[in-house]
Structure 1
Amino acid sequence: MRPLDGVRVLDLSRILAGPYCTQYLGEMGADVIKVEPPGHGDDTRNWGPPFVGETDEAVYYLAANRNKRGIVLDLKSERGQEAVRRLAESADVLVENFRPGTLEKWGLGYEQLSALNPRLIHVSITGFGQTGRYRDRPGYDLVAQGMGGVMDLTGEADGAPAKVGLPVADLNAGTWSIIAVLMALQARHTTGRGQYLDVSLLDAQLAWHVYAAGAHFYDAPRPKRMGSAHPSIVPYQAFPASDGWLIIAVGSEKLWRKFCEVLGLAIAEDPRFVSNAARAAHREELTELITGALAGRTAAEWLKIFDDASVPAGPINTVDEVYQDPWAQQREQIVRLPHPSVGTYFGTGFPVKASDTQPAPTSAPPLLGQHTAEVLAELGYSEAEIAEFPHPDGRE
């Protein structure tokens, strides 16, 4: 069995945060029905390059939409709205990321649908939430990274603010949405009722602040952009070897002494470096000493030495190198599924290994409207009625 076998999820979301959430709910066993508008479908179907396959499937779309059945409905039409109501009556969870008030305008808001199905769990993902001064602003990952303080802390000390290289605001909100769904399903066992879950990209960014927020609350020195360095732990950053870069993470005094021994530096008891606090106070001097010592060998040579000594260190991999590492296969982090257009779909694996209820991928991302007739028939529509719904390409 899988943990969400028997759970049905109605996915009205698009772009990334919502689809990322529902993809992994599907991996956990839920029957996910993804609803897209006729014509263009999910916006990310057109986000490229790269595009792959006979029908030019966008890699961006493929990355967050496996384990779903895909249907096309026009939610602005009465026919489409009625179909969503039928779907909601049998659904356990609804996930959407429309701007506040949009679904209510179509008669598909939480109050309206929960009147039909009191057990319905409704997850709404927006840029800034359903309350507060920014409620009605459109929200995108880049905006949330900037407003949420992440960009201010990312980049070199003397450089411009930088966004993280992956859409972490979207992915973080999607992850919290998964947590919210699991929380509400558990609560429903006790109450018998569903509930409304308000998730925002900006809230999710703040949940990442941890010690950075603590510095603000206690009026302590604030973290600043430091490249790969850590504001509190030294040495804990990228260093150059003779031919490239590597990461070194010395997170305890025991490791500090071992690191000095392996590096051949007699500075473990130097008053400037004898404690982490002292090393932080003399960060530049220590960095210069370490960089000089590392210059005599290649990154690969140092990584072998550190590995043998159990000093935490690692390469700075390209994405290609990550998936070429045998580790990725050993940990089942590469998913392969048949796909009608691209031949073989590739994706990233579920990041948790369970002893009894292991999630597993079931199907590649659907073509636009691939399962429309199938799902509408399950809802009780006749063949003649199904023929009246819009064609996936937008034709009536």
Structure 2
Amino acid sequence: MEPLKDIRVLCVTVYLAGPFCGMNLARMGAEVIKVEIPGKGDPVRGNGPFAGPKGTNIRRQTDDDISTRFLKRTQGVKSVTIDLKNPKGKQMFLDLAKESDVVLENLAPGSLRRIGLGYDEVAKVNPGIVYCSISGYGQTGPYKDKPAHDPQIQGMSGLMDINGEAGGPPIKVGFYIGDLVTPMFACYSILAALREKERTGQGQYLDVSMMDTLVSMMFMENLEETIADGQPLRTGNISRSGPTGVYQTKNGDLSLTVTSDDQWERLSRALEAPNLLADPRFCDYAARTVNVEDAREEIQRLIAEFTLDDALQRLEEFDVPCAPVRTAEQVMEDQHFWDRGSLLPMLHA
């Protein structure tokens, strides 16, 4: 399916957040045209590893080598070089924008506006344009001019404060969560704006911030109550309440979710531990929350008697949510993704 096959997107995007948004629109069938700086292009073009005639290497081996990071972020995207500071280049951009449905950019706030290519200027030649700006802190507010990449946003948003072991230091999430989730917010905002344009004929400006995205996601949890109650925010691999968490078997770790009374009952049967049901400390969710450390100790004591495969087999037999904690290498080798078509070989031409 290509629901956006009649949509043209004009991009001025660099690094990860903007290109990932554009690539996802291309995956939905949009024609995505990426504008790059003459002589330099997207800075990611210079970041290894590089793939080419001599294989994949951390440094370029030939002039034909291309950054695999760039390839991953531009699948299905067309590229064009335009000097946007040159009057002819500026007019070329406006001509393209006039024939486009979406303009997408993630430069420093105000960069395109300062050279006469902001929303107001583009809307003059195309009133129906959907113009989306992705940035670290947004186009307004006291932080708007601060330089920001994903690590800074993870720190400023408070995400690092709730990530890590109890009593330990704040920890960054192990991938660029702000750079990857924010573009998804931008994508569905663009889709909603295109739908509104169908109804009214009017375009609009979208200001999408990495900071707003991460904070809005974090506060889907009851952090206000947790803070007010003086409970720890940083709990590592365990839940803030209840015995959900990671447990160690004889030869590997597994992730286990036990929240409801029904799941607790099934867990006790899977581990052949009727005492878990009889113990008043664990009689219901509230009791298990109050006595959570005791509950975790009991579960760990029981699970430690099994190998990882045996524990998973028992838990799955009784429909207890569980999974092994795997390495990234194991995930890449998992046939599940190939069967579903989630992982596919890609040909760069």
Which of 140, 156, 178 in structure 2 is aligned with 1:147? Answer: 156
Q: Deviations over 1:251-285 (max 9, x none)?
A: 31111001011112221231111122221222222
CA distance in 1: counterparts of 2:10 and 2:115, whole angstroms? 16
Point out the more displaced range, 116-125 or 61-70: 61-70
Match of 2:316 in 1: 307
CA distance in 2: counterparts of 1:222 and 1:173, whole angstroms? 29
Given the superposition, is the C-alpha separation of residues 204 and 223 from structure 1 closer, same or farther in structure 2, using an over 3 Å criterion? farther
Q: Contact (CA 8 Å) 2:22, 2:104: kept in 1 or not?
A: yes
CA distance in 2: counterparts of 1:144 and 1:213, whole angstroms? 21
Match of 1:247 in 2: 255
Q: Contact (CA 8 Å) 1:212, 1:223: kept in 2 or not?
A: no
Question: Post-superposition shift, 1:222?
Answer: 5.0
CA distance in 1: counterparts of 2:158 and 2:135, whole angstroms? 18
- Runs of 4+ aligned structure 1 residues displaced above 4 Å come to 220-223
State the secondary structure of the residue aligned to 2:33: strand
CA distance in 1: counterparts of 2:159 and 2:11, whole angstroms? 29
Q: Contact (CA 8 Å) 1:47, 1:60: kept in 2 or not?
A: yes
Q: Contact (CA 8 Å) 1:34, 1:71: kept in 2 or not?
A: yes
Q: Contact (CA 8 Å) 1:122, 1:196: kept in 2 or not?
A: yes
Amino acid at match of 1:142: P
Point out the more displaced range, 151-160 or 316-325: 316-325
CA distance in 1: counterparts of 2:200 and 2:230, whole angstroms? 45
Q: Contact (CA 8 Å) 2:110, 2:139: kept in 1 or not?
A: no
- Identity fraction in percent: 36
Which residues of 2 match residues 1-396 of structure 1 at below 5 A? Answer: 1-48=1-48, 50-54=49-53, 55-212=64-221, 215=224, 219-221=228-230, 223-232=232-241, 234-265=242-273, 266-340=275-349
Point out the more displaced range, 212-221 or 309-318: 212-221
State the secondary structure of the residue aligned to 2:117: coil
Given the superposition, is the C-alpha separation of residues 59 and 318 from structure 1 closer, same or farther in structure 2, using an over 3 Å criterion? farther
Question: Post-superposition shift, 1:221?
Answer: 4.2
State the secondary structure of the residue aligned to 1:330: helix
Q: Contact (CA 8 Å) 1:212, 1:222: kept in 2 or not?
A: no
Count of aligned residue pairs for this structure pair: 338
Q: Deviations over 1:275-327 (max 9, x none)?
A: 22221222222222211111121112211221122111001122221232121
| Cα RMSD (Å) | 1.7
Q: Deviations over 1:19-46 (max 9, x none)?
A: 1111110010100001111222112122
Q: Deviations over 1:42-77 (max 9, x none)?
A: 1212223x3222333223222221110111122222
Q: Contact (CA 8 Å) 1:18, 1:125: kept in 2 or not?
A: yes
Q: Deviations over 1:76-129 (max 9, x none)?
A: 222221211111010100110122221112110100011000111000011111
Question: Post-superposition shift, 1:328?
Answer: 0.5
Gaps in structure 1 of 5+ consecutive residues: 341-396
Amino acid at match of 1:250: V
Q: Scaled by the length of structure 2, what TM-score is found?
A: 0.92
CA distance in 1: counterparts of 2:348 and 2:193, whole angstroms? 33
CA distance in 2: counterparts of 1:219 and 1:158, whole angstroms? 18
Q: Contact (CA 8 Å) 2:226, 2:233: kept in 1 or not?
A: no
Gaps in structure 2 of 5+ consecutive residues: 54-63
Question: Post-superposition shift, 1:6?
Answer: 0.5
Q: Contact (CA 8 Å) 1:3, 1:29: kept in 2 or not?
A: yes
Amino acid at match of 2:65: D
Q: Scaled by the length of structure 1, what TM-score is found?
A: 0.82
Question: Post-superposition shift, 1:3?
Answer: 0.9
State the secondary structure of the residue aligned to 2:34: strand
Q: Contact (CA 8 Å) 2:35, 2:81: kept in 1 or not?
A: yes
